[in-house]
Amino acid sequence: MPAPRKYPLELRERAVRMYRTAEPKPVIRRMAEELGVHPEALRGWIRQAEADAGERDDLLTTAEKEELAALRKENAQLKRANEILKAASAFFAQELDTTRRRY
């Protein structure tokens, strides 16, 4: 379960929209103070919005992040299943070993 968000999504969306539509571009620190959010949080929201809009190539989009998280989760599940199958295989191979003495 993900951690609760400190700032509501509506605030994030409104802040990003305000920044992107403002001319000239406002100073992020001043805008963050006016909105009552941490400046680095606002900067991160703006960078993510730019990545989602295709304006940045150095960040993953939100959809790519979600897909990556899902793939990592699936990979972890498959690794656990593989370990279980290896253990079961070793157990049954030991039971079927005819050269082993039975007391």
Identify the CA nearest to 31 among candidates 14, 8, 48: 14
- Who has greater pLDDT, 77 or 96? 77
pLDDT in tens, 49-70: 999 999 999 999 999 999 999 9
The Cα 57–Cα 55 span in angstroms is: 7
* pTM across the whole model: 0.71
pLDDT given at position 96 = 82
Q: Residues, the chain, total? A: 103
- Which of 9, 56, 14 has its CA nearest to residue 32? 14
Are the CB atoms for 49 and 60 separated by under 8 Å?
no
- Of 10 and 95, more confident: 10
